[in-house]
Structure 1
Amino acid sequence: MKLDQLLYESYGFAEFRPGQKEVIEQVLSGRDVLALLPTGMGKSMCYQLPGKVLPGAVVIVSPLLSLMQDQVAQLKKMGEKSVIAINSFMQPDERERVWKMLDQYRFIFIAPEMLVQPYVLGKLKGIGISLLVADEAHCISQWGFDFRPDYLRISEVLPALGNPQTLALTATATDKVTDEIQRYLKLNDPFIYVHPMDRPNISYNIRKFSDEKEKLEQLLTMVKNYGGPGIIYAGTRKKAQELAGRLLEQNIQAAFYHGGMEQQDRIFVQQQFQNKELEWVCATNAFGMGVHIPDIRQVIHYQLPSSIEGYVQEIGRAGRDGNPSLATLLYVDGDERLVESLVLDDLPERHEVELIYSAGAEAKQLVDQGLVRETAYRILIYWRERISMEGTLNQMELLKKEKLRQANTIRQLVHCQGCIRMFISASFDQETPVVPHSCCSFHGIDYDLFKANSQKPTANSMSSWQERLKAILPI
């Protein structure tokens, strides 16, 4: 059967989006593949359609529970029943039922931390895996070293799974990150597809202010004048909550979202946003993956992002419907100091390295005693198994320099004296894009394109969740 026919019969689409067919053809030919497709270009189709043809299961390693749940829901909506997400939130009886039926699932979503567990590997080994997918593969580089080292272990478990062919998918990656993805996944002579990452419908807006008060006033003006749906990114959890509170004071339907919230609360905010019950979400960079809302009109960075990759990932959530969207970065002199502090915060300190290396099998107790942070423990246990203490200290120094380099790129972006679109493309080693209408604040932005809709939900017009629940449930 031809791929176009299979696409239509399986999902009802008459044609592929750019890049999809080329990637799928290479996957079905048996090659390892690394594909860089911009946000909204349909990366998931690159493993969904092959999953209809390949003889064994497709295992998708995914970084976030919310992302897994969204992908499972999307597959089920398209009629695929043999799909499951295995995660630590499953009840024991539910998990046991899944293990017994594992060979009946065609698509299996799993977090890297669970994938590397020996018991889980044993179960997966028995079902026959045709394809392992590293979704959001940039996390292997950006999160693996200093946040979630189990990303770096993915290649180590491949032999236990029968060395299945590997597909790595991401929306943004510099040449350096692309090289690291290939190296840490041990891709064998991969086919690499890189689609131009430029999104002509997004206008890039950078505004500078003399003080914090002026910046906040401008934020509120933009929210009121140009409307949403929109996402406001803050550098800290406290700031995300503070900004949501300011919007609510202005009778604007908003909520905050960050990694310190309970999982259930995060899912609730995400669902409210997707259901148009919220117009704005004020969030840390924990928000965004798995959020498939085509008509997000604004993405505003109230504080600087920590890297150019993160910045492009976040603004890429705007305008997936192809209509004009606005990406705004607000800056006050000194904002970069917060970024430099945040990017270095999670890196293990020298005393933590020395404690972990001297503790032996009792290292986990150091976390319970408050002597070593949980994140530092995960990082250091990974490196302790591989290199000497001096080697780890050198590794941490290299990571520090890389983090500061990334922060410096953001500083250069803020103070860019030319086309912002061209600066971003050059940062990813891509060709100079065509300058569209309403390109950026350097070339000029047509703000009439973003005028707010007069029919917007407000905090007073929306009923509480208790009232909505009463309306649909009998008392």
Structure 2
Amino acid sequence: MELEQTLAKHFGYTAFRPGQKEVIGAILEGKDVLALLPTGMGKSLCYQLPGYILQKPVLIVSPLLSLMQDQVEELKRIGEKRVVALNSFLTVSEKRYVLHFLEQFRFIFTSPEMLLQQQVQDKLSQMQLGLIVVDEAHCISQWGFDFRPDYLRIGQWFSQVNRPPVLALSATATNKVVNEIRDTLSLHTPFEFLYNVDRPNIHLGRVIFEDRADKVHWIIQHIKETAGPGILYMSSRKRAEQYSEALIQAGIRAAAYHAGYGAEDRQFTQQQFIDGELDWIVATNAFGMGINKSDIRQIVHETMPANVENYMQEIGRAGRDGQPALAILLYCDGDEELAKFVVTGDLPTSGHVDRYQELLNQQVQPSQMLKNGELSETAFRVLDYWLQQETMEQVKVRLNHLALEKYRAVDEMQKITQTKDCIRTQLVGYFGQKLLKKPENCCENCGIHYDEINKVRLKEEKKIEMIPWKSRLKQLLMGF
């Protein structure tokens, strides 16, 4: 059957988007593939369509529970029943059931941590998979080395099994990150499709303040006057909650979202946003990866992100429907110091390395550091992983190198924040690419007519009270 016929039969589309057919063709030829496709270009179709042709299970390794659940629900909406998320949401009995019948599913989503559990690996080793997908593969570089060490272990597992072709997917990656993905996953002479990272329908605004306090007034006023849906990115959980409360008081349908909330609460908030019950999400960078909402019109950064990759990922959540969208970056002198403080806050120190060894010498589990509140869970994951791989001195050198790399990344972001040249050209150039064409209303430095992009916000007749999802569910069930 021609690929276009399969596309129409299962997904209702008559034509492929750029890159999709090339990537799918390479997979069907049995090749490893590394694909860089911007948000909104239909990355998920690159493994979903082969799933209907290969007639063998497709394993998708995904970094976030919310992203995983969103993709599972999307497949169910188009009528796919043989899809499952093998993750921590499952009860013990549900997990046992899923593992027993795992080979009967067409699409199997899981996390790096779940993938590396022995019982999961034992089951997968007995199966014939058609394809393994590593979604958001840039996490291997950005998160793997200091946030999600289990992303690094995926490649180790690959080398131990008779694996099918591997598809590594990402929206943004520098040449350095592309090389790291290729090496870490041990891809065999992969077919590579690296699409231009530019999103011409996203217009790049920037506002520079002399006083950080002036940002608060500007943000509240801007959101009150202009239409969403939108995401307001913050540097901390506390500020996300403060701004969310301020917006709600101003009559905006808004909610805070960060990793401090429970998984169910985060998923419920995300679903409210997708369904149009919320107009603005006030979030840390924990929100938005892979979110399936096409009509996000605005992204506002209250302060500069820690690196250019994060910035491109976050603004890429806007305008997935191809319609004009606006990304506004707010900057005040000193924001770069805040960014450096935030990005190194979760890195363990040389002192933590010594403390880890001290506990081992006392025959105490090093996880006691976590229980004592001596460091964060993220920092402990980093420390524990690398101290199992290298000597104490090597780990100290590595941690120092990681901190310097993070500082350099902030400096690169600051250059783009303060440039007097075309911001879009600078962003695209950071990824080793060239800007093909400047759109109208390109960026702040080239000139933007904001009124041509932003629509005026229509005030709500009724202010919606934001209450926890469990309370709302209880009220609905009681028929209040």
Range into which the TM-score falls when normalised by the shorter chain = over 0.9
Aligned mates of 1:441, 1:463 — CA distance in 2: 35
Deviation at 1:76, TM superposition (A): 1.1
In the alignment, structure 1 residue 432 sits paired with structure 2 residue 435? yes
Match of 1:61 in 2: 61
The alignment yields a C-alpha RMSD, in angstroms, of: 1.8
Structure 1 residue matching 2:130: 3-state secondary structure = strand
Which deviates more from structure 2 when the two are superposed, residues 180-189 or residues 355-364? 355-364
Deviation at 1:89, TM superposition (A): 2.1
Counterpart of 2:165? 165
Say if 1:467 and 1:116 are closer, same or farther in 2 by CA, change over 3 A. Answer: closer
- Residue 373 of structure 1 and its aligned partner are, at CA, apart by 3.5
Give the aligned partner of residue 333 of structure 2: 333
Q: Kindly state the Cα deviation for residue 357 of structure 1 after the two structures are TM-superposed.
A: 3.5
Please report how far the alpha carbon of residue 358 of structure 1 lies from its aligned counterpart in structure 2 after TM superposition: 4.5
Q: Distance in 2 between matches of 1:468 and 1:371?
A: 38
Asked if residue 452 in structure 1 is aligned to residue 455 in structure 2, the reply is yes
Given the alignment of the two structures, is residue 422 of structure 1 paired with residue 425 of structure 2, yes or no?
yes
Alignment pair present for 1:177 and 2:177: yes
Query: How far apart in 1 are the matches of 2:285 and 2:373?
Result: 26
CA separation of 1:365/1:214 partners in 2, compared to 1, >3 Å: closer, same or farther? closer
Whether the 8 Å contact between 1:425 and 1:433 is mirrored in structure 2 is: no
Q: Which residue of 2 aligns with 1:272?
A: 272
Q: Distance in 2 between matches of 1:57 and 1:88?
A: 21
**How far apart, CA to CA, are the structure 2 residues paired with 1:17 and 1:458?**
40
8 Å CA contact 2:198, 2:435 repeated in 1:
no
CA distance in 2, matches of 1:269, 1:351: 39
- Displacement after TM superposition at 1:204 (Å): 0.3
- Work out the percentage of aligned pairs sharing the same amino acid: 46
In 1: Cα distance, 2:109 partner to 2:255 partner: 29
Q: 1:39 aligns to what?
A: 39
Q: Which amino acid aligns with 1:41?
A: M
Deviation track 1:399-419 (CA, whole Å, cap 9, x = no partner) reads 111101110011101111111
How many corresponding residue pairs? 475
| Corresponding residue for residue 285 of structure 2 | 285
2 CA distance for matches of 1:458 and 1:298? 22
- Maintained 8 Å contact 1:58/1:129: yes
- Amino acid paired to 2:401: L
The one-letter code matched in structure 2 to 1:239 is: R
* Alignment partners' CA distance in 1, 2:180 and 2:159: 20
Task: Name the CA shift for 1:467/1:148 in 2 (closer, same or farther; >3 Å).
Answer: closer
Alignment of 1:392-403 (within 5 A): 392-403=395-406
* 1:389 and 2:392 correspond: yes
Residues of 2 paired with 1:131 and 1:70: CA distance?
A: 20
Distance 2:126 2:319 in 1: 43
Question: Which amino acid in the other structure matches residue 204 of structure 1?
Answer: L
Relative to the length of structure 1, the TM-score reads 0.96
TM-score (norm. length: structure 2): 0.95
Q: 1:329 to 1:463 in 2, by over 3 A?
A: closer
What is the SS of the residue equivalent to 2:373? coil
SS of equivalent to 1:239: helix
Q: Distance in 2 between matches of 1:355 and 1:366?
A: 8
Aligned twin of 1:411: 414
Q: Aligned ranges for residues 236-315 of structure 1 at < 5 Å? A: 236-315=236-315
Superposition deviation, residue 253 in structure 1: 1.1
Moved more, 156-165 or 238-247: 156-165
State the 1:346 CA deviation.
Answer: 1.1
Asked if 2 retains the 8 angstrom alpha-carbon contact of 1:254 and 1:281, the reply is yes
- 8 Å contact 2:251–2:463 — kept in the other structure? yes
Q: How far is 1:146 from its partner?
A: 0.7
Q: CA deviation at 1:397?
A: 1.5
Alpha-carbon distance in structure 2 between the residues aligned to 1:305 and 1:273: 23
- 1:159 Cα offset (Å): 4.1
Distance change (3 Å), C-alpha of 1:261 and 1:458? farther
Q: 1:230 to 1:213 in 2, by over 3 A?
A: same
Check conservation: 2:37, 2:169, Cα contact below 8 A.
yes
List alignment gaps of at least 5 residues for structure 1: none
Instruction: For 1:394, give the aligned amino acid.
Output: V
Pair 1:34–1:251, CA change in 2 (3 A) = same
Deviation digits for residues 351-393 of structure 1, max 9, x if unmatched? 1112224444722233223344422221122212222111111
Opposite residue 211 of structure 1, the aligned amino acid is: D
User: SS where residue 328 of structure 2 aligns?
Assistant: strand
Give 1:164 shift: 2.4
1:130 to partner: Cα distance: 2.2
1:133 partner SS: strand
Q: Secondary structure at the match of 1:168?
A: strand
Once the 2 structures are TM-superposed, how far is the Cα of residue 213 of structure 1 from its aligned partner?
A: 2.7
Partner of 1:77: 77
CA contact (8 A) 1:253 1:279 kept: yes
Query: Structure 1 residue 31: deviation in Å?
Result: 0.8
| 1:110 positional shift | 0.5
Task: Give the match's secondary structure for 2:200.
Answer: coil
**Counterpart in the other structure of 1:229:** 229
1:104 maps to which residue? 104
Query: Contact between 2:224 and 2:250, CA under 8 Å: does it hold in 1?
Result: no
Q: Secondary structure of the equivalent of 2:300? A: strand
> Aligned in 2, Cα 1:77/1:469: closer, same or farther, shift over 3 Å?
same
Q: CA deviation at 1:461?
A: 5.3
Residue 207 of structure 1 is matched in structure 2 by 207
Contact 1:158 1:164 in 2 (8 A): no
Aligned to 2:94: 94
Return the offset for 1:327.
Answer: 0.2
Equivalent position SS for 1:363: coil
Distance 1:179 1:93 in 2: 41
Report if aligned partners of 1:60, 1:108 keep a CA contact under 8 Å in 2.
yes
CA contact (8 A) 1:58 1:130 kept: yes
> Which residue of the partner structure matches residue 152 of structure 2?
152
C-alpha contact (below 8 Å) 1:233/1:282 kept by paired residues: yes
Higher mean C-alpha deviation, range 142-151 or range 211-220: 211-220
Report if the CA contact (8 A) 1:82-1:104 is conserved: yes
Partner residue of 1:346? Answer: 346
Conserved in 1, the CA contact under 8 Å of 2:326 and 2:454? no
Distance 2:472 2:147 in 1: 40
Q: Structure 1 residues 205, 324: CA separation in 2 closer, same or farther (over 3 Å shift)?
A: same
Separation in 1 of the partners of 2:369 and 2:444?
50
Tell me: CA distance 1:453–1:370, structure 2 relative to 1, closer, same or farther (3 Å): closer
Q: Please name the residue that 1:52 is paired with.
A: 52
Any conservation in 2 of the 1:251–1:458 contact (CA below 8 Å)? no
Deviation sequence 1:14-35 (CA, Å, 0-9, x none): 0101110000001111111100
